[in-house]
């Protein structure tokens, strides 16, 4: 078996199952191996009822009391009864597991595993799994993988498939021994085995360390190569200052902040310098980066060139396009923009390609469709990427190549300290928009438990009646296995429709919808045709609807704080007071305490740092600052020390052998060549 084989070649995977895997972005055996567990279930020693904690998954050794009753209600077979050990009693319920009728007998003792709940003072377990002593002994102490799933695909099915895929792993090693021992790394094969099926915690951690190493190492080598290429190249598109830019700045409804002025000064100096600009604008959510992009584009088009603005989602691209179109009307700007996204028809695209090539349009706004090969520009002088952290190095590179020697400007809201930014954006100069517009009212926050929902709904209703709009965020799209007590957009939308009067217009939005539908819904929300938008984190990036003043985040404990901060950045954008309600799905003290950090600061960088301090190493998998950068397993905050060390090693290696041709390093070069697509593109967007 080969990593590049399609997963349909695995035993037990037919067309139908392959389609489900495809939904998760898994097409090949190698994709499957890189579908790392989201979490692990650890099979600890069975505990006594009296020691067991409500709300946790536990294994109890229970004897069935009296007679266990089975009854049939319509299609449903329900079994109920009490069970106990010598310290306490638990009520047990099974739904639709009729075969257990012949298994469960009064007086017998079983190992029962499930989530312990308490209802009206009675301890209970629903659908506990049954184990014999032998079965349990085999699992005890191990970590069982929990994978990201989709409806119809069980954790068991993914586990089985991954087990088979392991056969594609070889002992081949691309790293020299020297690096392996310097960083105490296990082999690549061991890393995959250890991340999917660790025998214990230590094994999982060393597997993770190796995979993190690979991600950072390959990323940084690619980045250094890019930097070499870009360094100090002469621009084919020299510019001069134009009156349009000055006029536009004077007409704006607000004064630019000092930080915006300073950063625009830096951009202007680059564009006038005769050399290629390679600049990163770093600025917290809401610091006003979009207007800087528009100013740079205005300078470009008024010099007679084309510019491109790339966003990671269609929703955001569409919004930028609409904002620009509006500005053209209002301020008579010389922009002739076009929107280019994946959901435009083939004929429509051909038309747009022609307009781009002939120069009829001078600004192209879109998603990564912008960098597809068919697009030829007439004179592309400036390429801007918004929310840079969502793009891979390969995409950065392709885009700047499109324009020959185009100027490159990237914008990011990821709060990272300067020392890390220099490493991760080693190919770029960095500008910071480190000041928020003065007219902002800080968002009012609260962290609450699920019992607060009723009050929250009442509050939302009053705000909607005042004409405001609301975001409700859920972690999942739909119900699936492994997601007990996790809210999903589909069901939650229905629930809210039942709670609120019909006059309140509620709509769902998530990443699995067709792009055209997403755009339609987002546009309706922006036009105030929707009052409450129930959404996954697809709205996290960039969206600007200043009339939305309330955000309620369900299962807030499942998100990284930096990500919650980004989400919260969607409100507090207008002059009205905004409110953010973080609902924790657990009343675990630690997770409440973590969320409360969001209460006391609005500084993304501070929040990320504090989050890091509070999260022990055991949290590594449960909560990642997902969405940050393009790394799949590495976490730039958590693994920052390793990142710094690897950066030094990469410099040393390239100094010693910049083409990677020596025997020692040629393995790295070959690996890069073979996996070019995988390692630089990662699995972003």
Footprint of ligand ADP (CB under 6 A): 254, 256-257, 260, 283, 285-291, 413, 437, 439, 544, 546, 573
Find the shortest distance in angstroms from Cβ 396 to Mg ion.
18
Residue 254 binds which entry of ligand ADP, Mg ion, none, CB below 5-8 Å type-dependent: ligand ADP
What is d(CA 57, CA 46) in angstroms, rounded to the nearest whole number?
11
**Chain centroid to CA 679: how far?**
18
Residue 285 binds which entry of Mg ion, ligand ADP, none, CB below 5-8 Å type-dependent: ligand ADP
Find the shortest distance in angstroms from Cβ 433 to ligand ADP.
7
Find the shortest distance in angstroms from Cβ 629 to ligand ADP.
17
Find the shortest distance in angstroms from Cβ 254 to Mg ion.
16
Nearer to Mg ion, 320 or 558 (CB): 320
Contacts 24+ apart (CB under 8 A), 169-172: 169/33, 169/193
Burial 220-237 (b: 16+ CB within 10 A, else e): bbbbbbbeeebeeeebeb
**Chain centroid to CA 526: how far?**
23
What is d(CA 335, CA 341) in angstroms, rounded to the nearest whole number?
19
DSSP collapsed to 3 states, 577-606 = CCEEEEEECCCCHHHHHHHHHHHHCCCHHH
Residue 235 binds which entry of Mg ion, ligand ADP, none, CB below 5-8 Å type-dependent: none
Residue 546 binds which entry of Mg ion, ligand ADP, none, CB below 5-8 Å type-dependent: ligand ADP
Find the shortest distance in angstroms from Cβ 544 to ligand ADP.
4
Find the shortest distance in angstroms from Cβ 574 to ligand ADP.
7
Nearer to ligand ADP, 315 or 344 (CB): 315
Say whether 521 sits in a helix, a strand or coil: helix
Find the shortest distance in angstroms from Cβ 386 to Mg ion.
6
- Tell whether the torsion through CA atoms of 16, 20, 25 and 29 is positive or negative: negative
Q: Using an 8 Å Cβ cutoff, are 87 and 50 in contact?
A: yes
Indicate the helix (H) or strand (E) that contains 95: strand 88-95
Nearer to ligand ADP, 284 or 557 (CB): 284
Indicate the helix (H) or strand (E) that contains 506: strand 506-509
Residue 126, beta-bridge partner list: 93
Residue 223 binds which entry of Mg ion, ligand ADP, none, CB below 5-8 Å type-dependent: none
Find the shortest distance in angstroms from Cβ 240 to ligand ADP.
26
Find the shortest distance in angstroms from Cβ 287 to ligand ADP.
4
Nearer to Mg ion, 414 or 536 (CB): 414
What is d(CA 158, CA 32) in angstroms, rounded to the nearest whole number?
9
β-strands 407-412, 278-283 pairing: parallel
Say whether 550 sits in a helix, a strand or coil: strand
Nearer to ligand ADP, 260 or 519 (CB): 260
Q: Using an 8 Å Cβ cutoff, are 385 and 542 in contact?
A: no
- Tell whether the torsion through CA atoms of 600, 601, 607 and 610 is positive or negative: negative
Nearer to ligand ADP, 291 or 509 (CB): 291
Measured in residues, the chain has a length of 685
Nearer to Mg ion, 287 or 400 (CB): 287
DSSP character string of 134-189: HHHHHHTT-EEEE----TT--HHHHHHHHHHHGGG--S---S-HHHHHHTTPPPHH
Q: Which residue is nearest to Mg ion (CB)?
A: 542
451 secondary structure, DSSP code: G
What is d(CA 673, CA 538) in angstroms, rounded to the nearest whole number?
33
Residue 649 binds which entry of Mg ion, ligand ADP, none, CB below 5-8 Å type-dependent: none
324 secondary structure, DSSP code: H
Residue 647 binds which entry of ligand ADP, Mg ion, none, CB below 5-8 Å type-dependent: none
Residue 398 binds which entry of ligand ADP, Mg ion, none, CB below 5-8 Å type-dependent: none
Q: Residues in the site for Mg ion, rule: CB under 5 A? A: 542
Find the shortest distance in angstroms from Cβ 10 to Mg ion.
42
Find the shortest distance in angstroms from Cβ 376 to Mg ion.
28
Find the shortest distance in angstroms from Cβ 255 to ligand ADP.
6
CA atoms within 13 A on the CB side of 677: 3
Nearer to ligand ADP, 31 or 284 (CB): 284
DSSP character string of 242-305: -HHHHHHHHHSSSPPPHHHHHHHHHHHHHHHSSBPPEEEEEE-TTS--HHHHHHHHHHHHHTT-
Q: Is 514 left (phi over 0), alpha (psi -120 to 50) or beta?
A: beta
End-to-end CA distance of the chain: 29
Nearer to Mg ion, 90 or 411 (CB): 411
β-strands 57-64, 109-115 pairing: antiparallel
Indicate the helix (H) or strand (E) that contains 473: strand 469-473
Nearer to ligand ADP, 466 or 575 (CB): 575
Residue 291 binds which entry of Mg ion, ligand ADP, none, CB below 5-8 Å type-dependent: ligand ADP
Nearer to ligand ADP, 256 or 422 (CB): 256
Residue 133 binds which entry of Mg ion, ligand ADP, none, CB below 5-8 Å type-dependent: none
What is d(CA 537, CA 545) in angstroms, rounded to the nearest whole number?
15
Find the shortest distance in angstroms from Cβ 411 to ligand ADP.
7
Nearer to ligand ADP, 263 or 633 (CB): 263
CA atoms within 13 A on the CB side of 234: 1
Nearer to ligand ADP, 325 or 480 (CB): 325
Find the shortest distance in angstroms from Cβ 535 to ligand ADP.
18
Nearer to ligand ADP, 59 or 290 (CB): 290
Residue 95 binds which entry of ligand ADP, Mg ion, none, CB below 5-8 Å type-dependent: none
Q: Which residue is nearest to ligand ADP (CB)?
A: 288
Residue 437 binds which entry of ligand ADP, Mg ion, none, CB below 5-8 Å type-dependent: ligand ADP
């Amino acid at each position: 078996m080969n990593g590049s084989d399609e997963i349909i070649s695995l035993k037990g995977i037919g067309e139908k199952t392959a389609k489900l895997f495809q939904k998760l972005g898994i097409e090949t055996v190698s994709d499957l191996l890189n579908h790392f567990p989201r979490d692990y279930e650890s099979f600890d020693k069975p505990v006594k009822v009296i020691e067991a904690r409500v709300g946790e998954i536990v294994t109890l050794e229970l004897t069935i009391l009296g007679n266990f009753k089975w009854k049939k209600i319509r299609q449903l077979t329900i079994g109920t009864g009490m069970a106990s050990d010598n310290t306490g009693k638990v009520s047990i319920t099974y739904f639709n597991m009729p075969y257990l009728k012949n298994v469960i007998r009064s007086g017998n003792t079983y190992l029962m595993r499930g989530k312990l709940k308490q209802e009206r003072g009675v301890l209970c377990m629903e659908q506990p799994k049954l184990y014999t002593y032998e079965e349990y002994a085999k699992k005890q102490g191990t970590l069982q993988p929990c994978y990201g799933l989709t409806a119809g695909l069980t954790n068991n099915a993914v586990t089985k498939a991954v087990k088979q895929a392991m056969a594609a792993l070889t002992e081949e090693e691309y790293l020299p021994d020297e690096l392996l021992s310097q960083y105490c790394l296990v082999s690549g094969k061991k890393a995959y085995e250890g991340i999917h099926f660790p025998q214990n915690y230590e094994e999982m951690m060393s597997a993770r360390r190796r995979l993190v190493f690979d991600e950072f190492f390959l990323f940084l080598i690619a980045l250094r190569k890019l930097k070499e290429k870009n360094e100090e190249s002469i621009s084919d598109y020299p510019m001069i200052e134009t009156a349009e830019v000055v006029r536009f700045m004077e007409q704006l409804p607000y004064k630019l902040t000092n930080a915006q002025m300073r950063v625009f000064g830096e951009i202007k100096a680059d564009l006038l310098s005769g050399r290629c600009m390679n600049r990163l604008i770093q600025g917290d959510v809401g610091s006003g980066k979009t207007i800087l992009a528009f100013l740079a584009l205005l300078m470009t088009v008024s010099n007679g060139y084309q510019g491109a603005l790339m966003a990671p989602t269609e929703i955001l691209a569409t919004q930028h396009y609409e904002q620009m179109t509006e500005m053209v009307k209002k301020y008579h700007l010389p922009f002739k923009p076009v929107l280019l996204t994946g959901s435009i028809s083939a004929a429509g695209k051909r038309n747009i390609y022609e307009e781009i090539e002939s120069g009829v349009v001078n600004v192209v706004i879109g998603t990564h469709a912008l960098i597809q090969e068919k697009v030829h520009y007439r004179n592309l002088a400036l390429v801007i990427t918004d929310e840079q952290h969502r793009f891979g190095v390969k995409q950065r590179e392709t885009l700047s190549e499109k324009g020959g020697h185009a100027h490159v400007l990237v914008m990011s809201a990821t709060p990272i300290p300067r020392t890390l930014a220099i490493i991760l954006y080693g190919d770029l100069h960095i500008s910071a928009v480190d000041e928020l517009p003065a007219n902002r009212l800080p968002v009012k926050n609260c962290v609450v438990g699920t019992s607060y929902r009723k009050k929250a709904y009442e509050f939302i209703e009053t705000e909607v009646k005042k004409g405001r709009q609301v975001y409700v965020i859920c972690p999942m799209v739909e119900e699936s296995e492994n997601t007990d007590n996790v809210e999903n957009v589909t069901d939650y939308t229905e629930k809210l429709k039942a709670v609120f009067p019909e006059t309140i217009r509620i709509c769902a939005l998530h990443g699995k919808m067709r792009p055209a539908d997403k755009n339609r819904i987002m546009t309706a929300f922006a036009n105030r045709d929707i009052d409450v938008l129930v959404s996954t984190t697809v709205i996290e990036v960039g969206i600007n609807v200043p009339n939305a003043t309330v955000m309620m985040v369900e299962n807030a404990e499942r998100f990284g704080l930096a990500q919650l901060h980004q989400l919260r950045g969607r409100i507090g954008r207008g002059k009205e007071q905004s409110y953010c309600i973080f609902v924790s799905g657990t009343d675990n003290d630690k997770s409440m305490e973590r969320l409360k950090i969001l209460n006391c600061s609005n500084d993304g960088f501070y929040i990320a740092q504090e989050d890091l301090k509070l999260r022990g190493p055991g949290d590594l998998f449960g909560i990642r600052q997902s969405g940050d950068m393009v790394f799949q397993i590495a976490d730039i905050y958590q693994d920052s020390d390793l990142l710094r060390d690897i950066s030094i090693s990469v410099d040393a290696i390239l100094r010693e052998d910049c083409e990677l041709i020596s025997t020692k390093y040629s393995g790295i070069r070959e690996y890069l060549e073979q996996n070019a697509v995988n390692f630089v593109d990662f699995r972003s967007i």
